Amino acid sequence: MKILITNDDGINAPGIVALAEAMRDAGDVVVCAPDSQQSAVSHSITLHKPLRCKDVPNFPVEGVRAFSTNGTPTDAVLLGIHAVFKEKPDVVISGINGGPNLGADVTYSGTVAGAMEGVIAMVPSIAVSMGAFENLRYKDCASFTRTLCEIVFKCDFPKDILLNVNYPNVAPEEIKGVAITRLGQRWYDDVVHERVDPRGRKYYWITGKKVLYGPKEGTDAFELERGYISVTPLTLDLTHDPVIKKLGDILANPSEFTESKCEFPFDVVRNPG
Ligand code: MN
């Protein structure tokens, strides 16, 4: 099995080392990851500067080929496939991220984007994140990830789906189980801090410490909080199916739905759904 590992915390992050260690004897393992912290870069791709893909001879896991790039996690996956393996791997694993990726986090996450790029290449892919920020039990999570790969990706599993895993940072005996979840709602409060620089000019720092959860059973944040390992199947098709028909109805006959007199000087073509 050819295994491509990436992350967004950078090639020197402890999470990627733990993951490579857990996967090392599962097949031909290549680690290709950014040379610096790339968290929250989302699915960005580098198109306007040269990309390097450097050998990392001192990567601390024996038997694993490791490379670093000056690009993003998405770039790292593309380089891993096209410059290192020179063919599609059997699986792409992105992580282990030092912090959760729940709900809307997946739209900012470089970790999740690494797995998205794998799915775009039609390679079964998985994004893995720890459900906490400190004293992280990467080794336990890496071991779970190895088992999950062995089970799921040896089945006839759809290739256009990625799995987003969030692992509770507790001892294995305290884990309640594995929950198949959907994306939940999670908001950061106190997001933009206004400060003043030494010259008296305002500047801003985006942060958001306090997290608010939408408490809903079956969602990733809720089940993680209850002590379950959250596994969410994600698709890149962001289309909202239930609203397709209604949107066609509204745009074709606005006067039935609103007092507004606006209408388009064009035909509205309904989507067959
Ligand atoms: Mn990160």
Residues 61-115 have pLDDT tens digits of 999 999 999 999 999 999 999 999 999 999 999 999 999 999 999 999 999 999 9
| Span from the CA of 99 to the centroid of ligand 1 (angstroms) | 7
Please tell me the distance between residue 100's alpha carbon and the centre of ligand 1 in angstroms. Answer: 9
Whole-number Å distance, alpha carbon 261 to ligand 1 midpoint, is: 49
Q: What is the pTM of this model?
A: 0.94
Q: Which residues contact 119 (CB under 8 A, 6 or more apart)?
A: 125, 159, 160, 161, 162, 236
**How remote is the CA of residue 11 from the centroid of ligand 1, in Å?**
11
Cβ distance 35 to 10 under 8 Å?
yes
Domains and CATH numbers, the chain: 2-185+213-235 (3.40.1210.10), 239-273 (no CATH)
* 269, 245 Cβ separation under 8 angstroms: no
Show the tokens assigned to 15. Answer: 């999470």
Q: What pLDDT was estimated at residue 236?
A: 96
pLDDT over 90 at 261, yes or no: no
Average pLDDT, integer, range 188-211: 88
Q: How confident is the model at residue 167 (pLDDT cuts 50, 70, 90)?
A: very high
Question: 221 with 214: CB under 8 angstroms?
Answer: yes
The pLDDT-based confidence of 207 (bands split at 50, 70, 90) is confident
Q: What average pLDDT is seen over the chain?
A: 95
How many angstroms is it from 13 CA to the middle of ligand 1?
A: 9
Is 210's pLDDT higher than 70?
A: no
